[in-house]
């Protein structure tokens, strides 16, 4: 006799577990602890198995019967229901946003720098996975991704919000390529957040004032390593962090070049700095003092660490330049402005500035691009700085 909703609901707990049959192998198991569990007994390839549907009242009688029909259909097709469910679960887990994102991340880590790889993963773990990581990637809709972006925006992390859309777009396109999604839901979100404000670093671009700055640097009365860092900065126009972390092992003075490894570069590819005669002279003067150690510009407290990130800017303040007049980063703007006015190739200038390459793979192979022209350009730039200083 088949079960009824009323009979299932009123089934009482007994000292021992017992079964209430609904026919065709399906029954309600009432345990001694009061649980009501749906089960299906079936035979497959001569072996007896039990398929668990779930518990009552979470799964009502009508839904349990629907699952019984699905189980019977699978058996008729020669498919073991338990194996099918296990395989389906594994497939579902492989298709979650987090699983696809981690797979994508693993593939591209090989061409990224360690620092960039960590930044991307941390961004996803902190801003995306907790909210949509467990969702099937093909089921996620644009408003869900927008919500993740807006959470970052609302706490003031505007660049992170834009990076979230960028990274998630890459993940969705990877999911499309691997057959686990049909649409890149990040595409409609372009423009959904306010554009990032371009950050301009204060810089001196008046030739007479540049000459005065260079002479002031030559007369700097602080430590010799800081003075050398200040003198070298305009000739190589690197980001301050890239300059202060310079290691002697990165320099090939015979080839007149400095090669910074990709793990230290913002754009995640190796960067070559052709060294002018003026730059080489500064390095040669510094070598007797710090050449036996790891860093060109070690901390005054420990040679195992680099100088502080504030050292260059603090030295400029000591020379009388305010933060609104000149910064360590400002040497880059200075070089960019004049090199463009001198009609050097924009591509050579951009490559020497090590501006971020949008295509990560392309960046990894283009670090030596325009190198012959860049060698000429760097020497010409140092000659110009020397001319301004002597005027």
Domain count, the chain: 3
**Of 86, 170, 90, residue with least CA distance to 128:** 170
Q: For residue 301, is it within any domain?
A: yes
Q: For residue 38, how many other CB atoms are within 10 A of its CB?
A: 25
Q: For residue 346, is it within any domain?
A: yes
What CATH number has the domain bearing residue 121?
1.10.150.130
163 catalytically annotated: no
Q: For residue 202, is it within any domain?
A: no
User: pLDDT at position 357, please?
Assistant: 47
What CATH number has the domain bearing residue 43?
3.30.160.390
Average pLDDT of the residues in 89-114: 81
* Sign of the alpha-carbon torsion through 53, 54, 55, 58: negative
Task: List the catalytic residue out of 332, 351, 367, 374.
Answer: 332
Average pLDDT of the residues in 45-73: 90
183 catalytically annotated: no
Separation between Cα atoms, residue 211 and residue 327, nearest integer Å: 16
Q: For residue 220, is it within any domain?
A: yes
39 catalytically annotated: no
Q: What does the mean pLDDT of the chain come to?
A: 88
User: Which residue's entry shows tokens 């660490």?
Assistant: 305
Residue 140 shares a structural domain with residue 271: no
Residue 241 shares a structural domain with residue 370: yes
**Of 288, 278, 287, residue with least CA distance to 378:** 278
Residue 15 shares a structural domain with residue 141: no
What is the extent of the structural domain holding 33?
Answer: 5-89
For residue 90, what pLDDT band results from cuts at 50, 70 and 90? Answer: low
* Of the residues 156, 189, 222, the one at which a domain ends: 189
Q: For residue 256, is it within any domain?
A: yes
Average pLDDT of the residues in 177-204: 84
User: pLDDT at position 266, please?
Assistant: 63
201 catalytically annotated: no
User: pLDDT at position 197, please?
Assistant: 65
Q: For residue 267, is it within any domain?
A: yes
Separation between Cα atoms, residue 304 and residue 165, nearest integer Å: 39
What are the pLDDT digits (tens) for 279-311?
999 999 999 999 999 999 999 889 999 999 899
What are the pLDDT digits (tens) for 306-337?
999 899 999 999 999 999 899 999 999 999 99
Task: Compute the C-alpha angle 140/142/147, nearest 5°.
Answer: 95
Separation between Cα atoms, residue 368 and residue 303, nearest integer Å: 31
Residue 104 shares a structural domain with residue 132: yes
Count CA within 13 A, CB hemisphere, residue 82.
12
28 in Cβ contact with 22 (< 8 Å): yes
CB within 8 Å of 294: residues ≥ 6 apart:
247, 248, 249, 303, 304
What are the pLDDT digits (tens) for 11-39?
999 999 999 999 989 999 999 988 999 99
Separation between Cα atoms, residue 100 and residue 184, nearest integer Å: 13
For residue 149, what pLDDT band results from cuts at 50, 70 and 90? Answer: very high
Task: List the catalytic residue out of 163, 231, 264, 329.
Answer: 329
**Of 243, 244, 279, 254, residue with least CA distance to 354:** 243
For residue 359, what pLDDT band results from cuts at 50, 70 and 90? Answer: very low
What percentage of the chain carries pLDDT values higher than 90? 63
Task: List the catalytic residue out of 209, 239, 287, 294.
Answer: 239
Residue 167 shares a structural domain with residue 225: no
365 catalytically annotated: yes
Separation between Cα atoms, residue 58 and residue 60, nearest integer Å: 6
**Of 335, 115, 390, residue with least CA distance to 204:** 335
User: pLDDT at position 77, please?
Assistant: 86
355 catalytically annotated: yes
User: pLDDT at position 358, please?
Assistant: 40
Average pLDDT of the residues in 237-244: 92
| Number of helical (H) and strand (E) elements in the chain, helices listed first | 17, 7
Q: For residue 104, is it within any domain?
A: yes
Residue 358 shares a structural domain with residue 216: yes
Residue 83 shares a structural domain with residue 104: no
Q: For residue 104, how many other CB atoms are within 10 A of its CB?
A: 21
Task: List the catalytic residue out of 107, 255, 365, 376.
Answer: 365
User: Which residue's entry shows tokens 């779930």?
Assistant: 54
Is residue 93 pLDDT above 90, yes or no? no
Tokens representing 263 are: 């793990």
* Of the residues 189, 216, 232, the one at which a domain ends: 189
* Of the residues 161, 189, 217, the one at which a domain ends: 189
189 in Cβ contact with 165 (< 8 Å): yes
Task: List the catalytic residue out of 266, 281, 294, 370.
Answer: 266
For residue 391, what pLDDT band results from cuts at 50, 70 and 90? Answer: confident
Residue 121 shares a structural domain with residue 229: no
- Residue scoring higher pLDDT (345 or 383): 383
Buried (b) or exposed (e) across 223-246, using 16+ Cβ within 10 A?
eebbbbbbbbbbbbbbbbebbbbb
Least confident of 77-81, 324-328, 366-370: 366-370
Task: List the catalytic residue out of 151, 355, 370, 375.
Answer: 355
User: pLDDT at position 198, please?
Assistant: 54
Q: For residue 315, how many other CB atoms are within 10 A of its CB?
A: 22
Average pLDDT of the residues in 82-98: 74
Residue 176 shares a structural domain with residue 140: yes
Residue 242 shares a structural domain with residue 221: yes
Residue 272 shares a structural domain with residue 129: no
Q: For residue 252, is it within any domain?
A: yes
Residue 245 shares a structural domain with residue 340: yes
Distance of CA 224 to the CA centre of its chain: 38
What CATH number has the domain bearing residue 270?
1.10.443.10
What are the pLDDT digits (tens) for 257-280?
999 987 777 655 678 999 999 999
Is residue 367 pLDDT above 60, yes or no? no
């Amino acid at each position: 006799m088949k079960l009824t909703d009323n009979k299932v609901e009123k089934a009482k707990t007994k000292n021992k577990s017992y079964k209430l049959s609904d026919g065709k192998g399906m029954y309600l198991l009432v345990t001694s602890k009061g649980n009501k569990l749906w089960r299906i007994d079936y035979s497959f390839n001569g072996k007896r198995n039990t398929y668990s549907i779930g518990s009552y009242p979470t799964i009502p009688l009508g839904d349990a019967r629907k699952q019984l029909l699905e189980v019977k259909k699978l058996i008729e097709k020669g498919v073991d229901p338990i194996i099918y469910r296990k395989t389906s679960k594994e497939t579902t887990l492989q298709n979650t946003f987090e699983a696809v994102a981690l797979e994508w991340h693993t593939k591209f880590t090989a061409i990224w720098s360690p620092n960039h790889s960590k930044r991307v993963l941390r961004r996803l773990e902190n801003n995306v996975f907790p909210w949509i990581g467990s969702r099937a990637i093909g089921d996620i809709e644009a408003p869900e991704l927008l919500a993740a972006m807006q959470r970052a925006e609302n706490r003031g992390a505007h660049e992170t919000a834009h990076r979230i859309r960028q990274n998630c777009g890459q993940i969705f396109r990877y999911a499309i390529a691997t057959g686990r999604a049909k649409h890149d839901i990040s595409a409609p979100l372009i423009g959904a957040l306010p554009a990032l404000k371009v950050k301009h670093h204060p810089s001196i671009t008046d030739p007479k004032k540049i000459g005065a700055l260079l002479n002031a640097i030559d007369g700097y009365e602080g430590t010799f390593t800081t003075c050398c860092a200040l003198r070298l900065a305009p000739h190589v126009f690197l980001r301050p962090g890239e300059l202060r972390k310079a290691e002697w092992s990165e320099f090939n003075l015979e080839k007149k070049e400095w090669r910074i490894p990709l793990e230290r570069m913002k754009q995640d590819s190796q960067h070559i700095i052709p060294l002018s005669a003026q730059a080489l002279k500064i390095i040669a003067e510094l070598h007797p003092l710090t050449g036996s150690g790891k860093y060109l510009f070690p901390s005054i407290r420990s040679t195992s660490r680099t100088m502080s990130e504030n050292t260059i800017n603090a030295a400029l303040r000591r020379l009388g330049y305010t933060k609104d007049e000149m910064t360590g980063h400002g040497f880059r703007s200075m070089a960019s402005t004049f090199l463009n006015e001198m009609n050097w190739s924009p591509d050579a200038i951009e490559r020497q500035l090590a501006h971020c390459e949008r295509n990560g793979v392309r960046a990894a192979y283009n670090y030596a691009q325009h190198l012959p022209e860049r060698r000429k350009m760097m020497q010409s730039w140092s000659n110009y700085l020397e001319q301004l200083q002597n005027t």
